């Protein structure tokens, strides 16, 4: 009851403050008593401004989202899907400037998981039954280096965060983790010898689709985009890649990460050669935001790297979501971000940091990628697979030219 009354107090106070200090924003909301011109955008701006002026309100929001109990750990918060939490979008995205900055119901057992090593007869070569989407593999030629980043300026924690990160309101990250030397000095090269898959691509949320995806046809969803990425990694760079297509989010999306964990652990047990894990997602954005840019004359979906810190402002470090690979996870996403900025300026959004773990603890080189959004086309998403694969190769092969710190 106390939390309820506190929340109601801040909502009322926020409304009064908004009327006084943000009349141009609240004119489109219920606080102003007038019809909204763009209620989604107005509410978003209002919410962000309220958090800035009344930080306790934002902390209440974060605290409430973290209080759902984890059924595995009674009395402890459940690890939540990240897409349902409103993004702290940059103003360039809210304004529709998609060019970006230059820098910057599945089965319960792992044994039933749908896993295969992609080959030349991939489902991507088959057209949709409805003929609505062309699934021809995009032609891709790796790009040339466009710029060299001077990293000396990013010794400053503030500059580093400002340029490369969005930190969710429910978590925190200090310069002990976001340190340019630690992030860059980590060697992420993988072993090329031996047998068995080196890379695992999977989808915690396999039901995520694009604007022109065909309902019921996974080759036109984020799973199909994963096949596209795999083909490029295999054919262009020679990596051995496995694709897990088990559906973890059909029965209960909120339990997808918990359901995926035992399946992933079984895959790794059976395939100890796997050194890289890529959880490929599709983001959710306001209808008026288009995550698209142009590369070599092709419309290409922008993407974002995502890290979980296993830490919230309310609880501190989350003991039951321990991640001994967090330093490697952070270095992996950062080095990927830098390579994309060097070769494909404007293609990536800022790295998003949130409070939970998202199964990234299973490998040092674990990467969660949000590729495009619900209003991108399948073609745009597939066009992004080439640059993403290229950046992966540059990092996994140890190519670090242009990133030296004086």
Q: What is the CATH number of the domain that holds 356?
A: 3.40.50
Q: Per the domain annotation, does 47 fall within a domain?
A: yes
Do 260 and 384 lie in one domain? The reply is yes
295 is in which domain, residue-wise? 110-396
At residue 70, the pLDDT reads 42
At residue 226, the pLDDT reads 98
Distance, in Å, from the CA atom of 335 to the CA atom of 151, rounded to the nearest integer, reads 12
pLDDT digits (tens, 9 = 90+) for 1-52: 554 444 445 444 555 444 444 444 444 333 333 333 444 444 444 444 444 4
At residue 104, the pLDDT reads 58
Quote the percentage of the chain above a pLDDT of 70. 65
Compute the CA torsion angle 311, 316, 321, 324 (nearest 10 deg): 70
- Domain end point (choices 65, 81, 98): 65
- For residue 402, count other CB atoms closer than 10 A to its CB: 15
Structural contact between residues 58 and 46, judged by C-beta atoms closer than 8 angstroms: no
Q: Per the domain annotation, does 164 fall within a domain?
A: yes
Q: Per the domain annotation, does 137 fall within a domain?
A: yes
Distance, in Å, from the CA atom of 72 to the CA atom of 68, rounded to the nearest integer, reads 12
Do 333 and 253 lie in one domain? The reply is yes
Do 139 and 229 lie in one domain? The reply is yes
pTM of the model: 0.73
Do 262 and 384 lie in one domain? The reply is yes
Q: Per the domain annotation, does 78 fall within a domain?
A: no
The pair phi, psi for residue 227, each rounded to 5°, is -60, -40
At residue 135, the pLDDT reads 59
Q: How many domains does the chain have?
A: 2
Q: Per the domain annotation, does 100 fall within a domain?
A: no
Q: Per the domain annotation, does 406 fall within a domain?
A: no
Do 186 and 290 lie in one domain? The reply is yes
* pLDDT (tens place) for every residue of the chain, 406 residues total: 554 444 445 444 555 444 444 444 444 333 333 333 444 444 444 444 444 444 333 333 333 333 333 433 434 444 554 444 434 444 344 433 333 344 553 323 332 334 444 443 344 344 334 444 455 678 888 989 999 999 999 999 999 999 999 999 999 999 999 999 999 999 999 988 789 999 999 999 999 999 999 999 999 999 999 999 999 999 999 999 999 999 999 999 999 999 999 999 999 999 999 999 999 999 999 999 999 999 999 999 999 999 999 999 999 999 999 999 999 999 999 999 999 999 999 999 999 999 999 999 999 999 999 999 999 999 999 999 999 999 999 999 997 554 444 4
Residue with tokens 């997808």: 256
- Domain end point (choices 28, 45, 65): 65
Do 168 and 246 lie in one domain? The reply is yes
At residue 406, the pLDDT reads 44
Q: Per the domain annotation, does 143 fall within a domain?
A: yes
Instruction: Tell me how many helices (H) and strands (E) the chain has.
Output: 12, 14
pLDDT digits (tens, 9 = 90+) for 299-351: 999 999 999 999 999 999 999 999 999 999 999 999 999 999 999 999 999 99
At residue 107, the pLDDT reads 29
Do 58 and 150 lie in one domain? The reply is no
DSSP-assigned states of every residue in 283-348: E---TT---EEEETTEEEE-EEEEEE-SEETTTEE-GGG--TTHHHHHHHHHHHHHHHHHHSTTSB
302 Rama class: left (phi>0) / alpha (psi -120 to 50) / beta: beta
Distance, in Å, from the CA atom of 401 to the CA atom of 248, rounded to the nearest integer, reads 39
Do 49 and 150 lie in one domain? The reply is no
The pair phi, psi for residue 48, each rounded to 5°, is -65, -40
At residue 400, the pLDDT reads 58
Q: Per the domain annotation, does 283 fall within a domain?
A: yes
Do 57 and 131 lie in one domain? The reply is no
The pair phi, psi for residue 383, each rounded to 5°, is -65, -25
At residue 141, the pLDDT reads 87
Residues 6+ apart with CB under 8 A from 24: none
Do 178 and 248 lie in one domain? The reply is yes
Do 54 and 140 lie in one domain? The reply is no
At residue 81, the pLDDT reads 44
Do 244 and 370 lie in one domain? The reply is yes
């Amino acid at each position: 009851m106390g939390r309820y009354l506190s929340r109601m107090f801040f909502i009322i106070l926020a409304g009064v403050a908004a009327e006084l200090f943000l009349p141009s924003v609240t004119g489109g909301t219920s606080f102003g008593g007038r019809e909204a011109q763009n209620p989604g955008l107005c509410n978003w701006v209002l919410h962000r401004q309220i958090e800035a002026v009344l930080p306790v309100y934002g902390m209440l929001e974060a605290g409430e989202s973290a209080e759902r109990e984890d059924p595995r750990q009674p009395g402890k918060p459940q690890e939540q899907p990240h897409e349902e939490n409103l993004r702290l979008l940059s103003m360039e995205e809210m304004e529709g400037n998609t060019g970006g900055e230059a820098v910057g119901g599945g089965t319960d057992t792992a044994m039933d998981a749908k896993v295969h090593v992609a080959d030349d007869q991939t489902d991507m070569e088959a057209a949709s039954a409805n003929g609505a989407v062309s699934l021809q593999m995009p032609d891709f030629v790796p790009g040339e280096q466009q710029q060299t980043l001077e990293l000396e300026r990013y010794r400053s924690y503030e500059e580093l965060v400002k340029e490369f990160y969005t930190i969710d309101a429910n978590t925190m990250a200090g310069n002990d983790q976001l340190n340019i030397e630690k992030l860059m000095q980590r060697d992420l090269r993988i072993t090329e010898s031996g047998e068995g898959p080196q890379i695992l691509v999977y989808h915690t949320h396999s039901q995520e689709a694009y604007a022109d995806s065909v309902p019921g046809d996974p080759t036109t969803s984020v799973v199909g985009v994963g096949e596209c990425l795999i083909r490029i990694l295999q054919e262009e760079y020679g990596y051995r890649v496995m694709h897990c297509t088990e559906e973890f989010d059909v029965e209960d999306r909120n339990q997808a990460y918990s359901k995926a964990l035992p399946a992933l652990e079984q895959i790794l047990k059976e395939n100890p050669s796997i050194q890289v894990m890529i959880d490929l997602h599709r983001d959710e954005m306001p209808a008026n935001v288009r995550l698209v840019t142009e590369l070599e004359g092709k419309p290409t979906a922008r993407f974002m790297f995502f890290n979980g810190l296993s830490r919230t402002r309310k609880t501190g470090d989350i003991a039951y979501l321990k991640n001994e690979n967090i330093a490697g996870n952070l270095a992996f996403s950062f080095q990927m971000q830098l390579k994309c900025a060097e070769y494909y300026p404007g293609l990536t959004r800022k790295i998003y940091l949130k409070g939970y773990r998202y199964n990234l603890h299973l490998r040092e080189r674990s990467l969660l990628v949000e590729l495009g959004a619900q209003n991108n086309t399948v073609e745009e998403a597939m066009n992004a697979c080439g640059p993403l694969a290229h950046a992966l190769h540059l990092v996994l092969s140890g190519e670090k030219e242009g990133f030296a710190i004086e």
